[in-house]
Amino acid sequence: MRVDPAWRKQLLRKGQDVSDLLAALLAGKDVDLASLPLSGSADDGDEARLRRFLEQIDRAVKCFGTGWYGHCQICDVELSAAVLSEQPWISRCPTHAGRCPARAAAKQQRKQ
């Protein structure tokens, strides 16, 4: 798959947007998070959800130029270019989208 350089620009813009929201939240301002694709439940708190999303964006930016960008971090399947153009921070295929690698490893370890 050819990695589109525009995706990196999108990631950097989204990272700045999320960083600005986090700064506003920490400054005690009301922020609207409804339009963001944040993982976790609302019970986790807005700060934790924003920080997780920012970490997800940061990981994606760091993968650019390494050959890992655009592949599922669990099974290494190539992610859809159409999905990446819409959400370039995506790091898992649809099969693994809801899985947490740490949780999966802990579960596997308990089975042994």
DSSP result, 26-93? HTT-----TTS---S-GGG-HHHHHHHHHHHHHHHHHHTTTT-TTB-TTT-PBPPHHHHHH-TT--S-
Q: Going from the N-terminus, what domains does the chain have, and what CATH number goes with each?
A: 5-111 (1.20.120.910)
Model confidence, pTM: 0.77
pLDDT in tens, the chain (112 residues): 678 888 999 999 999 999 999 999 999 999 988 888 876 666 778 999 899 999 999 999 999 878 889 999 899 999 999 989 889 999 899 888 875 554 444 444 544 5
